[in-house]
Structure 1
Amino acid sequence: MDPAARPIFSSIVLGSGTLAIACAQLAMEMGHVIGAALCTDAIFADWAARANILCIANVEELSTLLNTEPVDWIFSVANPLILRPDVFERARQGAFNYHDGPLPRYAGTHATSWALLAQETEHAVTWHRIDDGVDTGDVVVQRQVLIAPTDTAMTLNLKCYEAAIEGFRELLTGLKIGKLTAYPQALVNRSYFPKRRRPDAAGYLRWDRSAQDLSAMTRALDFGPYHANPLCLPKALVGDEAVAIRRLEVLPRRSGFPAGSLLEIHFSHWRVATGTQDVEVCFGSSDGRVLDARALARHSNLDEGSRLLILGDEQARSITAAHELLAPREDFWRRRLEQFRTLKFPFLSSSLSDAPPRWQSSSGVIPSALAKLSQNDCTEYLVTAWLIYLARITGETELQLGWKPASYGWQADLKAVEVLVAPAVPMEVTIDLARDFEEMRKAVAAEFAQLREHGSFARDLVARCPTLRGVEALRSHRPWPIGITLTTDSCSVAGDLKTSHRAGPALCGDLLTFEVCALDGSFRWHFDASRLAPKQIDRMTQHLQTLLHGVMADAGQPVRELAILPAAERAYLLEELNRTAAAYPSERCIHELFEQQVQKAPEAVALVFEDERLSYGELNARANRLAHHLIGLGVRPDQPVAICLERSPAMVVGLLAILKAGGAYLPLDPAYPCARLRQVVDDAAPRLLLCDAAGRAALGAEALADVSVVDLETVTPAWAELPACDPDPRALGLTARHLAYVIYTSGSTGTPKGAQNEHRAIINRLIWMQKAYALNATDVVLQKTPFGFDVSAWEFFWTLLEGATLVLAPPAAHKDPDALVNLIISRRITTAHFVPSMLVSFMDTNGVDRCTSLKRLVCSGEALPASLAQKVQRVLPWTGLHNLYGPTEAAIDVTAWTCPADFDGSVVPIGRPIANTRIYLLDAHGAPVPFGAVGELCIGGAGVARGYLNRPDL
């Protein structure tokens, strides 16, 4: 590399925030080349990247850089890192640091807050040389900053910010002209404030102090809404809670009442007596909102004339000491809390999360599998097994749980100290299911060490950090639903479950806490019985013991392969729940069963569309004539025949005719975009198309060029004089193993694919539906689902196989809830299908409560919200609600659930497998998951599709 081409690194800037950016920009304006920046926050790092300045991550990288590229100057601006002499001495002409206080007084951190607490009227900022002490180098520039009586930490910091930039300009000018005067600090006058130091009583207001002291405390701890508060919140101890002080105003008068007397209660504030003048106090919530002061008083059983607690000197010292003990660990916890996440526990039995919790504690268990282990090993085995179990049943491997930290043994027996400390902290463990148990145990042991080292954090940390303030769950005493606690109290004493509405001291999970006794290796559960059933706790105990036996039998296997299910539960899941065998006419085709119904009641009304009615006999005759025509055109079994029509009697005739001719209907919805229809036509390559004018327009002339078209709207159809008799399936070589339809998936997960479903699969589904819901000749079924969705198949064929009446909704009515309400009322509809998103609109429509004929509401296609199911029960109590689930690849539906009248669950289940269907819920590695846990749904049995059209690879 040409030495002349190498850049000249004249300066390096270290620091954070906009002040470091402003100083770096000023240096460049005054002729400095910024060769690199050591960025201690994202704000400065982003700026450096945009300015094409080399960004250094740490002091070690800086030292390496300076070994090869010495510079003239190092400028440290809002920089929390301490530089070693071997680093700053490599600056050829000097290294300088900015300090936001008047050195040698107010050395250390948070100088502006300490000056406000001391009620100073003058302040200053300082630029000084860096030496081997902290803030001890020679002063080169110092600029005075006046403190106003109303200044807060935020406003004083802004004044210092401006003074810092002007001071830096003065520094750069002195460097440029070679006239920079430096003088040593008078260290005899030095005062130093370490980072861990905290104000008196950690910000709790002591009402017997002067009003000026209380005002100074409140202002010194007010960093504004957008900046982190690195010290603590100003707060009052009100009842059992610490309430943040948003504003405190000193009044000109003194009431003469004892300090701490609550003199007046207003919506916006309280008036409180102090050691001198009275003060007005406004309160704020942890998310920064103003609190209703009257509601706060009511909640705390306070009235005008009540006295607030006054802290004694010893109590205040204990609170301060506790906070200072927690302070060095705050950055660790803040980083964890910024990654806040919770587990969704799969076994919830109710949605009553807003009801008061009913805490229960299970009897303790000493796992027999761990009998030969030491106490410490026993604890680690239990916690590791529990975490593996959670990963297995939730499908989540990066776990964050609530952990109850060890007690620090606070000296003051005071509620203020208890309120100060977070009762639960985040435990983090990644469970690698491919690893063995011993490797996971080591990870848990490492996390134990981290938790012991860092203890807990001040509870107001969340409210002090803008990045955490908006996370609602973190404002709770127990943000994590699942918690773990280690105790020295034996869990193994047998006894009945204990019930309470108050959380015990062991609880650190909002739903469930796993408690392990470190003395005897026992464990038990504390849980909210309003959301988690005791029988589920018993099952989890069995699961955990099964897993532990597997560990002791073979600890070297990947933890994903450890058995969780006892033999009885495994047999229940795999066999008992899948005992669905039922007889059905598996050898018959759909249209054959329709033809049997025609013979039973040929005059019965089969189809209603607007003013048109068709009897079973008429519908069958029309379909037969068209079917004979299609047979003459060469339709054969398994051949896809496209059909693109608006909803009308011709659509139903066309579907039946295709089936009778032996073909498989391929529905093309004319409401779809032309490109989507062309995609399906190109993939399926049908040789024949049944359509009407809407179908022609939707497909376009180009798509019609390669297919023979049968126009069902022609005035004199070619098949009008053909026989009305049923075609003989045997003569056509047609069996129930041939295709009934090919329906293309939505393509939401990739390219749409044509699922091929056979007659026998659809017959199984329809016969099951009849046994489950008992349709009869008096029933009226609404057909509104576009026929490109497989739900339409049961609307058409279940109705026509059972002798009921099919009412076709007008083409666009399925999107119009008002039209549907009117249609259901006028036609006395008894059975209708809705996807839940449409059901929401339907239930909100005027007149829905007049749909008194409606006996059955069937839902599928989307998850049915529990709140919507409960609304249907309230508004239409005479209507049965049925939730069905099934993919297009499995003959419409494979599971079913009927909503009970008293349903209050949080989740609507998809139910149990239908007839001749097997359902397995498996984890990512093919093992069955416990009943109610998260898993992949695997389907077997009569309904499974043959495969995808023209996709043998799938």
Structure 2
Amino acid sequence: MTPISFLITGDDDFTIGCGDALRARGHVIAGVASRSGAVRAWAGAAGLPVADRIGALEAGGEAEWLLLASGPPVPPVPAVPPEAARAAVRRGTLRFHDGPQPDCGAAAPPAGALLAGATRHGVVWHIPGGPVLVQQSVAIGPEETAASLIGKCRAAGLESFDALLCKLAAGDLNAATQDIDCQYKSKPEIVPQAAGRLDFTWPAPELARRVRGLDFGGLWNPLTTAKVRAGGRLLLVSGAHVVETVAPVAPGTVLHVTQESLTVASSDGAVRLCGFRDTSGQQVALYPAALEGAELASPGEAEAKALSAERAALARDEPHWRARLARFRPARLALAGPGPGGGAGGGPGAGLASWNDRQLALPKTFAAPEAAPELVAALTAWGLHSTGDWRAGLAWSTAPMVAGAKAHPGHVSPWVPLGFGLEAPEEATIAALAADLAPDLAAAARGSFAPDLVARDPEITAFGMASVGISDRAPVAGTALTLTPEGDRLRLWYDAQRLDEAALDLLEARLALFLDNLAANPALPLRALLALPAAERALTLVAWNGPQPADPPVPVHQAFEAQADRAPERVALVSGGRQMSYGALDARANRLAHRLIAEGARPGDRVGMYLTRSFDLAVAALAVLKAGAAWLPLDPAWPAGRLRQHISDAGAGLVVTDLVLAPILPPSAAVPVMIGGGADARRPGLDVAGEAVALVTRAADASGGVPGPVMLTHRALSAFCAGIGALADPVATCFDATCPGTTWAWLAGPGSCASALEMFCALTRGGQVVVVSEDARLALSGAQGASLADDLTRHRVTVLHGSPAMLQRILDDPGARAALRGLKQILLGGEPVSAALAGELRRFTDARIVRLFRPCGSALYTMAHVIEGGESGAGPLGRPLAGQSVYVLDKAMQPVPVGVAGDLWIGGPGVPGRHGDDDGRIRRDPFAAGPGHAGEQAQMFCTGERVRWRADGLLERLGPRRRRLTICGETLAPGEIEARIARAGGGSRAAVAVKGERPRLVAWVEAVGAAGLATIRADLVAHLPAPMLPAQVIALEALPRGETGGIDRAALPEPGAELRIGGPGDAPLPAAGLEAEIAAIWSGVLGVSDIRRADSFFALGGDLCGAAAVLARIRALDGLAGTAPHALFRFPLLGDLAGHLAQQRLPPADRAGVPEFDRQAIMARRRDMRRRSERVAP
């Protein structure tokens, strides 16, 4: 058969079916024109040219036939004018019709056949204006609905498509024999009377047939819906069945009622109605007590005629409003409280508003009647700007619409959507906007739409009531604010239950300023006219920002030195039975600082600290800052690859460590320096600039990729500690300038900059730091050994900082949660705080609960919010910390109105320093003021977070631009894991998500084999911390894609038990030996069987609580009592952990695989450091 070439146009799965049939038979598809995302995705996957219209296809004129492959009634295919069809193809147009003849006349032939009582239907393929080439019969069953018959027509269309292709191949364009009549072509009953209202004086079979004939399922319904009025509501009905009755009763009498169905008497029996929805398509439940025995009214002759006439009048503009509603997104005014849920018909409760009003004088320009279109356009623009969504719409209402809605409740909408169709309305002039609204206003002058249009059209997905309306007379029911022009005045109707006076003051001031600006400059684009009033600008930029210090904050080590001078004998650090005073800590830090300087450390250098959480780490941190260098935190639990990367990226020349950790420090360009010091206990006394780098850490930015180095200056670190210290209530005892009664628990890992928070926020204010050992941190409570609860109670800790997951673990342990009672402050950060957690904390402690917020790209907390009693955990972000500045800006870098979403920018000392230009994310801060901002050199940083100001001055988070995952109490940046997988997999795309009832991290990767999976696994183990290792890495031929081409994460397949990270080839463990013993311990803790050598404890679902249990059981094994707390974190894979522990069992002289110091190489690197420092020394 000679291939035939086609252009296809259509917007449904029938179009895809025809295309698949053409390709299966070897025909050519020269192009596809469709508005449907599904059809366009299918065409793209098949490598076919695709466009939204025929004229945009480059293949136009080359194909033989244009196939109008629209199935039965769904959103109509793009209009193809005759001249466009002639230009598109060489031979002609072919069209599918879901009726037995092309000229059946009904808007929906299958529904028409059912409403007319037909027992047989058919479909045809024809040439428009020409012969019917193929006709096929379709049987109608006794319980057929419009939706099911449409499905049969689709199937018949595809079945008969073969016959059409055969005729085309044979060159046969003669008319086919037509033996199916259009039985309903001229019958008036196929047009639903009374706008679909059921008349119970009809026989029961007729009622059931009417309901089934108007039941289109989820397809576009061009007719109307079956309706009843019950309990004061107009309800849509989608199901009906004839039932028998015992005795005749009056038609319309309710014989039986449940929440889902009504059995109603008819003229000859009864019918059971079900599938009730409101006019917007939402399912509703019935109230049996109110309906039992009631009599449902049937429309009388006059009412039926009036409803039919009203429905016919509304149908004329239905295509217009259908298109508008399909793109309609109701404008939401964030300053307004939730509404009563008004729909197209006003909705239940729409009349419960408490309307008040204010009046605003209009500029003379807009008082004239001829200026009405420009005024409506201006009010629409202002309303959308106040909601922050230019693609949304308002509600426009006129007196005739309201009158129609009152005359026919539920059948006529009292409002229509009003919005702009321009690509960028804010860049247009008011004249252009008025012209854009003209078609909508003209259609509105003729009437509104039938409310059930929303239920009939599946393309209308975001329907709801807008917060802002415009009317010509009265407030629009369901809105929070309605603007009504009245001559030279503008009346602002507002619902006092949803808008308070403070919010209305903001809105009124904005509106007045905008109208004045517009009247004075009508030719300017709106963007230049929608300025913030001075008072609102001052609120968001100054009054609601953190209080600025009178003087720039001093570096943290100098603040610590001031406390040491004030009370050198005061206890600074305590751990178990050991303690260290401020004076002793200062002296030890001074000695180490001199040693670091002697080793070559100079101001600006990076010095790594490879130490556990301990007194030594506190000494080293202060010593590095005293030496003028920057602290690079390193965690001994990190894998070697990650440690090397951190040291290399930061350019560290020295690493402070101890004799225990030095042998396992991975080789790098940095010189190891043993903790300790010389004889000189004097302070180095270096003059450290506020802009010098104090701490180097990492933070994932808004792109969600691999976290990059972030440099925190002395000014930033000092301001941060001061801000935390002045948090919430400045008169609280623990936040005084000098607060010896404050005791902080130091729980943060040594590789986290949270260690700086927990150390310096106490040491700079004269407080005490309880250094919680790793054993105690893992063990919450218990009779054996140290525990976190012991530390909190014995040392009277008053401030506890941690993640919500950690606090939840404490609450879940009866022995540990009792220790919470002595706390004064609980600082929660790292992940959202649930309402359940906040409520449970209040049951066990009177401490003030503070939620801290760290935006994307920042290493430090920027905002805080005290969770008050009765408030849910998922509340606002709060206010900026003292000394910090935050701005909510639009794309033009201008402050957005209160209640409008914008990008969060950080100003002041909290701006993180970064390598490179950050793609414009760091800019000069034009709003900076005060000595804490470094004047003209001040910068601000775009976090990538979307936020908005509330009317009470609190910030509300709308979401980050990058994804975040939380597992095992760790907040992860999935982009880093995905980027690592892509790098190891040769550029393969990857996706990461948390799956399962017991949350586990799973990764999916494209187009890699077993060898590729093994390479990826080895790379992840070498570079990612244990909690970031996926439990499984699953290879797929291709990752699922959405309509936009992005990864469809919801469609990622569920992981299978056999697809673990080690791969199916990982051999089982022997029945005995250390590996088997550890596997048994893991199985007991995790409840997981068949553990292999390549399995990761954390990937299998382990967390800190489980790690504590595993550690305790391992220490009970012969020869392993001294197992280090971080062993499981350094060696999360079972095979690696067993190998490490096997070495511990050997005598020191027999241990293998532990790298020794190359002392000659170290000495050579030290000499290089000294020579370099001598060259740069003054």
Q: TM-score range by the shorter chain?
A: 0.7 to 0.9
What is the rounded CA distance, in whole Å, between the counterparts of 1:559 and 1:759 in structure 2?
43
Q: Is 1:856 the counterpart of 2:825 in the alignment?
A: yes
Number of aligned residues = 893
Aligned partners of 2:818 and 2:339: how far apart in 1?
26
Worse-superposed segment, 313-322 or 99-108: 99-108
Shift of the 608–221 alpha-carbon distance from structure 1 to 2, 3 Å rule, reads same
* Change in 2 beyond 3 A, CA 1:402/1:834: farther
Q: Secondary structure at the match of 2:237?
A: strand
Q: State the secondary structure of the residue aligned to 1:263.
A: strand
Say whether the 8 Å CA contact 1:106–1:114 is kept in structure 2: no
Output one character per residue of 1:483-519: Cα deviation in whole Å (capped at 9) or x when no partner.
3222145xxxxxxxxxxxxxxx61353xx33322265
Matched-pair contact (CA < 8 Å) for 2:653–2:671: yes
Does the C-alpha gap of structure 1 residues 838 and 930 become closer, same or farther in structure 2, counting only changes over 3 Å?
farther
Shift of 1:256: 0.6
In structure 2, the partner of 1:496 is none
Residues 266 and 877 from structure 1, CA distance in 2 versus in 1: closer, same or farther, beyond 3 angstroms? same
Give the match for residue 374 of structure 1. Answer: 368
| Structure 1 position 802 matched with structure 2 position 750 | no
CA contact (8 A) 1:362 1:525 kept: yes
Shift of residue 251, structure 1, vs aligned partner? 1.7
1:683 equivalent in structure 2: 649
CA offsets, 1:886-937, max 9 Å, x none?
Answer: 679999455554445565798424325515x555554443444445554455
**Residue in 2 that maps onto 1:3:** none
Measure the CA separation in 2 of the matches of 1:72 and 1:568: 62
Partner Cα distance (2:701, 2:259) in 1: 57
- Displacement of 1:274: 0.8
1:564-608, Cα deviation, whole Å (9 max, x unpaired) = 34444445555555694545685x543344344345554543223
Contact 2:573 2:579 survives alignment (8 Å): yes
Match of 1:157 in 2: 150
Deviation at 1:260, TM superposition (A): 0.9
Q: Which has the higher contact order (CA 8 A, sep 6+)?
A: 1
Amino acid at match of 1:204: R
Cα distance between partner residues in 1 of 2:173 and 2:532: 81
AA at the equivalent of 1:237: R
Aligned to 2:697: 743
Single out whichever of 565-574 and 801-810 deviates more from structure 2.
565-574
Q: Take 1:272 and 1:9, find their aligned partners in 2: how far apart are those partners?
A: 57
- In the TM superposition, 1:139-178 aligns within 5 A as 142-164=135-157, 176=170
- Alignment pair present for 1:100 and 2:98: yes
1:81-101, CA deviations, whole angstroms, 9 ceiling, x for partnerless residues? 687499689999987654433
Take 1:188 and 1:948, find their aligned partners in 2: how far apart are those partners? 74
Give me the whole-angstrom Cα distance separating, in 2, the residues matched to 1:35 and 1:737. 63
Name the CA distance, whole Å, in 1 between partners of 2:549 and 2:5. Answer: 86
Instruction: Summarize the Cα distance change of 1:558–1:296 in structure 2 as closer, same or farther, 3 Å threshold.
Output: same
Does the alignment pair 1:543 with 2:531?
no
Task: State yes or no: 1:208 paired with 2:201.
Answer: yes
- Please tell me whether the aligned partners of residues 416 and 444 of structure 2 are also in contact (alpha carbons under 8 angstroms): no
Q: Quick check: 1:488–1:519 contact (8 Å CA) kept in 2? A: no
Deviation at 1:537, TM superposition (A): 0.4
8 Å contact 1:350–1:905 — kept in the other structure?
no
- Choose which of 707, 710, 714 in structure 1 pairs with 2:673: 710
- The 2-side partners of 1:782 and 1:362 are apart by 54
Q: 1:405 to 1:835 in 2, by over 3 A?
A: farther
| Aligned pairs (5 A) from 1:779-794 | 779-794=742-757
Q: What is the aligned partner in structure 2 of residue 525 from structure 1? A: 493
One-letter amino acid matched to 1:774: T
Residue 100 of structure 1 contacts residue 112 of structure 1 at CA under 8 Å; is this kept in 2? Answer: yes
Structure 1 letter corresponding to 2:335: F
1:502 alignment partner in structure 2: none
Residue 500 of structure 1 aligns with which residue? Answer: none
Q: 1:762 to 1:574 in 2, by over 3 A?
A: same
Task: Give the AA of the match of 2:375.
Answer: Y
Q: Shift of the alpha carbon at 1:220?
A: 1.2
SS in 2 for 1:306: coil
Cα 1:753–1:466 change in 2 (3 A) is same
Q: Could you say which residue in structure 1 is the equivalent of 2:452?
A: 460
1:881 aligns to 2:881 (yes or no): no
**TM-score (ref. length: structure 2):** 0.65
Query: Does residue 279 of structure 1 match 2:247?
Result: no
Q: Is the 1:761–1:891 Cα contact (8 Å) retained in structure 2?
A: no
**One-letter amino acid matched to 1:785:** A
Task: Sort the Cα spacing of 1:609 and 1:201 in 2 relative to 1 into closer, same or farther, 3 A.
Answer: farther
Inter-CA distance 19–934: structure 2 relative to 1 (3 Å threshold): closer
Name which of 262, 278, 297 aligns with 1:309. Answer: 297
Could you tell me which amino acid in structure 2 is paired with residue 483 of structure 1?
A: V
Letter in 2 for 1:114: G
Q: 2:798 maps to what in 1?
A: 830
CA distance in 1, matches of 2:316, 2:660: 73
1:276 to partner: Cα distance: 0.9
**Alignment check: 8 A CA contact 1:74 1:94 kept:** no
State the 1:709 CA deviation.
Answer: 0.6
User: Shift of residue 102 of structure 1?
Assistant: 3.9
Looking at structure 1, the residues matched to 769 and 252 of structure 2 have their Cα atoms a distance apart, in angstroms, of 78
Q: Distance in 1 between matches of 2:543 and 2:405?
A: 60
Whole-angstrom CA distance in 2 between matches of 1:764 and 1:317: 76
Q: Partner residue of 1:297? A: 287
Distance 1:101 1:774, change over 3 A: same
Structure 2 partner of 1:493: none
Q: TM-score, normalised by structure 1?
A: 0.79
2:353 corresponds to which of 354, 359, 372 = 359
Q: What is the alpha-carbon distance in structure 2 between the residues aligned to residue 31 and residue 262 of structure 1?
A: 60
- Which residue is 1:632 aligned to? 598
SS in 2 for 1:641: strand
1:911 paired with 2:879, answer yes
Amino acid of the structure 1 residue aligned with 2:679: L
Deviation at 1:855, TM superposition (A): 0.7
Which region of structure 1 is more displaced relative to structure 2, 546-555 or 328-337?
328-337
Q: Is the 8 A contact 2:241 2:273 kept in 1?
A: yes
1:522 is paired with a residue of what secondary structure?
strand
Deviations 1:140-168 (CA, angstroms, capped at 9, x unpaired): 65544443322222333344445445655
Q: What CA RMSD, in Å, does the superposition of the two structures yield over aligned residues?
A: 4.9
Tell me: CA distance 1:396–1:948, structure 2 relative to 1, closer, same or farther (3 Å): same
SS state at 1:302 partner: helix
Which secondary structure does the structure 1 equivalent of 2:603 belong to? coil
1:121 corresponds to: 119
Aligned counterpart for 1:507 among listed residues 468, 472, 477: 477
Structure 1 pair 177/454, CA: closer, same or farther in 2 (3 Å)? same
Deviation of 1:374 after TM superposition, in Å, equals 1.6
Cα distance in 2 between the residues matched to 1:63 and 1:804: 75
Q: How far off is 1:219 after superposition?
A: 1.7
Over residues 779-830 of structure 1, what are the superposed CA-to-partner deviations in whole Å (9 max), with x where a residue is unaligned?
Answer: 3211123355444323212322333321223348778988766754565321
Question: Are the structure 2 counterparts of residues 401 and 585 from structure 1 closer, same or farther at C-alpha, using a change threshold of 3 Å?
Answer: closer
Q: 1:909 to 1:439 in 2, by over 3 A?
A: farther
In 2, distance between residues paired with 1:738 and 1:46? 53
Partners of 1:740 and 1:482 in 2: CA distance? 49
C-alpha contact 1:343 1:482 (8 A) present in aligned 2:
yes
What is the alpha-carbon distance in structure 1 between the residues aligned to residue 173 and residue 424 of structure 2? 63
Call closer, same or farther: CA 1:584–1:630 in 2, change over 3 Å: same
User: CA 1:447–1:864 in 2, change beyond 3 Å: closer, same or farther?
Assistant: farther
Which AA in structure 2 matches 1:260? G
After superposition, the Cα gap between the structure-2 partners of 1:695 and 1:418, relative to the gap in structure 1 and judged at 3 Å, is farther
* 1:608-666 superposed Cα distances (whole Å, 9 cap, x missing partner): 33454334344334333323322332333333222122212221121122233333322
CA displacement at 1:169 relative to structure 2:
5.2
Out of 457, 471, 482, which is 1:486 matched to? 471
Work out the CA distance in 2 between the residues paired with 1:698 and 1:183: 88
